[in-house]
Amino acid sequence: MSQVVKYVAECWSWGNRVFRQPWRPDWPVIILRLEQFATLVGLVAVIMTTGGDSLVRSAGKPGVHFPAAPTPPGQYLEAVKQPVMTISPVVPAVAKGETAFTPGDQLGGWGSSPPGAAPPRQDLQPLRQVAGAGHRVAITFDDGPSPGWTDRYLKVLAAMGTRATFFMVGSQAVAHPDLVKAVLAGNNEVASHSWRHANLGKVSREAAREDLSQAASALAAITGQKVKYFRPPYGAMGPNLLAAAGDVGEKTVTWSVDPRDWSNPGPQAIIQRVMANVRDGSIILLHEAHPGTLVALPILIKELRDRGYEIVTVSELIAAGKIP
């Protein structure tokens, strides 16, 4: 404990030395005292969370020791109890190679696993794009169905003779089942965007599973088909959510091209951003209920075709990726 006292004294004198440097001589003394007080509070927090162990270890080394960003007790304990699982951030396709896409990463990769068995981790990783799909891309729309909007998107798709995948919010689908059926009637694909569009990135596996199950049941009741794909609201993912998607038999699908159309950058920007980043096998993220997106859509479809891309659904893109 004497080392701890020595450390406190060291911090105190360090604070005095640093904050009395001539480059900030005009700072009021009260701010200096508050900073020193904050230092001591951080110190106490470290002692409380670690029992002083880390402090004693660092105090044994020469030089000035200052605890870097003391961890609050709760977070510290969580970090100790739970192994950390790193989820790859979603990165735009630009300047990145395509994600390896192996058969095991596709549909039904763990469908034959016995109940309760943990699926292989690679099967839980989100699918951003599909390598080996040839000159094919998938256009996807999130956040629908949206009254007054879904129909207009469908008209453009039909007029252009193409199809898309709609990641739908379950509760909205229940409120507007006719729109869901209209999407299907146009040979488009319906997928899940959770039940109520909550941020599921940090919830428990059980809570995530409950949300996804509710969305899956609602969509299946309307479409008569089992939902195969799930896209996390806000792109927020954690190991619990990815595991829950596996639990309900859905493959997590994100995107590789994101023109951020939700921020209303204007049709021209949406088109330019997509065309600058699109690659073979790209999954393009767009949203319903945005006028700029609706205006951009026919031009975007034409430009993609002019560049030689075939526009397919997510299912078709994945199926194409299986071709050797």
Q: How far is the CB of 112 from Zn ion (least distance, A)?
A: 31
CA distance 14 to 188: 66
SS3 149: coil
Closer CB to Zn ion, 37 or 234, in the complex: 234
Long-range Cβ contacts of 194-198 (<8 Å, 24+ apart): 194/169, 194/170, 194/230, 194/232, 194/233, 195/169, 195/170, 195/171, 196/169, 196/170, 196/171, 197/143, 197/169, 197/171, 197/233, 198/233
CA distance 193 to 180: 13
Is 193 an annotated catalytic residue?
no
Pairwise CA distance, residues 135 & 169, whole Å: 30
| Nearest residue to 91 via CA among 232, 277, 267 | 277
> For Zn ion, which residue of 105, 123, 143, 211 counts as binding (CB under 5 A)?
143
**CA–CA separation, 194 and 198 (whole Å):** 8
Minimum gap (Å) between residue 193 Cβ and Zn ion:
6
**Beta carbon of residue 143, minimum distance to Zn ion (angstroms, whole number):** 4
Kindly name the residue from 123, 142, 143, 261 that is annotated as catalytic. 142
Task: Return the range that interacts with Zn ion (CB under 5 A); candidates 31-39, 56-64, 119-127, 134-142.
Answer: 134-142
Cβ proximity to Zn ion, 233 vs 259, nearer residue: 233
Q: Residues binding Zn ion: what is the number (CB under 5 A)?
A: 3
Q: Helix or strand or coil: residue 203?
A: coil
By beta carbon distance, the residue nearest Zn ion is 142
Minimum distance from residue 236 beta carbon to Zn ion (Å) = 10
Binding region for Zn ion (CB under 5 A) out of 2-10, 58-66, 150-158, 229-237? 229-237
Q: Report in angstroms how near the CB of residue 142 gets to Zn ion at its nearest.
A: 4
Q: For residue 118, give every residue at least 6 positions away whose Cβ sits within 8 Å of its Cβ, in sequence order, or none.
A: 243
Q: Of 233 and 292, which CB lies nearer to Zn ion in the complex structure?
A: 233
Residue 232-251 contact track with Zn ion, rule CB under 5 A, x = bound: -x------------------
Question: What CA dihedral angle connects 32, 34, 39 and 45, to 10 degrees?
Answer: 180
The answer to whether 243 touches 85, Cβ cutoff 8 Å, is no
Q: Any catalytic annotation for residue 197?
A: no
CA distance 303 to 308: 9
Q: Applying CB under 5 A, which of residues 105, 142, 258, 316 lies at the interface with Zn ion?
A: 142
Closest CB to Zn ion among 128 and 136? 128
Least CB distance to Zn ion at residue 266 (A): 20
Which residue's CB is nearer to Zn ion, number 233 or number 267?
A: 233
Pick the stretch among 10-18, 84-92, 227-235, 297-305 that binds Zn ion (CB under 5 A).
227-235
Should residue 316 be labelled a site residue for Zn ion when binding is judged by CB under 5 A? no
Nearest to Zn ion of 145, 233 (CB atom) = 233
Active-site residue identified among 123, 193, 211, 287: 287
Say if residues 105 and 130 touch (Cβ distance below 8 Å). Answer: no
Show which residues are catalytic.
142, 287
- Residues near Zn ion (CB under 5 A) are 142-143, 233
